Amino acid sequence: METPRDRLLFAIGIYTGLRIGEIIRLSRDQVFTDYGGIRNTLKVKRLKKKDTVYSDIPIHFRLREHLKEYAEEQDKLQQALQAIPQSQSKWLFPSPDSESGHLERAQGHNVLKAAFDMLRLEGASTHSMRRTMLTSLSRAGVPLRTVQEISGHSSLSQLQTYLAVDPEDTREALQRLKY
């Protein structure tokens, strides 16, 4: 993960469980206040069939550190470009080369794929971060209904397809038998 942007892409995935398409479409105002502070909660808009659903995801303290680092880098970049009049992009991950104005899904995928390769994580994908985060919450004893609220899944059965079962969990479960 070469840059604060790349690290932030990864951190958002692992600390929020958002899909890559949701991450790249985050706007600055979803993360930062009007005065440049970091919000306490990330409000994510999701389309569910014909309805719009909002998920409020508290911002983890480690994600906050990555956001701060990224904001500082962006401020330095803005100061360096003062000679060129331009307005700051509304997107958290702007891309002047894209029609949307933000990183495209393939670009985000490529950044994360390079990080996974560097970390030698075989078989990892952008969706692995989501599965890892949701499984970690479940293993930590977070109620599944709360995990569902964070993930935006419409049902518990849909959420449960994401949750990995660790062989160690199975072994410990069987050791609880008292007969």
134-151 pLDDT, tens digit per residue, is 999 998 999 999 999 888
Q: Is there a domain that residue 39 lies in?
A: yes
Count how many domains the chain has: 1
Q: Which helix (DSSP H) or strand (DSSP E) does residue 1 occupy?
A: none
| pLDDT tier, 22 (very low <50, low <70, confident <90, very high otherwise) | very high
Q: Is there a domain that residue 170 lies in?
A: no
* CATH at residue 120: 1.10.443.10
- The gap between the terminal CA atoms of the chain, to the nearest Å, is 51
Is the Cβ–Cβ distance between 135 and 163 less than 8 Å?
yes
The DSSP call for residue 88 is P
Give the position of tokens 């706007």. Answer: 27
HSE-CB at 128 with a 13 A cutoff on CA atoms is 12
Between CA 110 and CA 179 the distance in angstroms is: 52
Over residues 55-73, the mean pLDDT reads 93
Over residues 153-179, the mean pLDDT reads 86
Residue 23's pLDDT is: 95
Beta strand 41-48 pairing with 51-58? antiparallel
Tell me the β-bridge partners of 45.
Answer: 54
Q: Is there a domain that residue 13 lies in?
A: yes
DSSP 27-53: BHHHHB-TTSPBPSEEEEEEEETTEEE
Between CA 100 and CA 146 the distance in angstroms is: 33
Q: Is there a domain that residue 169 lies in?
A: no
Residue 84's pLDDT is: 57
Residue 91's pLDDT is: 93
Is the Cβ–Cβ distance between 16 and 63 less than 8 Å?
yes
For residue 67, give its domain range.
Answer: 4-126
Please say if the pLDDT value at position 119 is more than 70: yes
Is the Cβ–Cβ distance between 86 and 21 less than 8 Å?
no
Between CA 92 and CA 11 the distance in angstroms is: 13
Please say if the pLDDT value at position 76 is more than 90: no
Residue 126's pLDDT is: 87
Q: Is there a domain that residue 30 lies in?
A: yes
Higher pLDDT, 143 or 154: 143
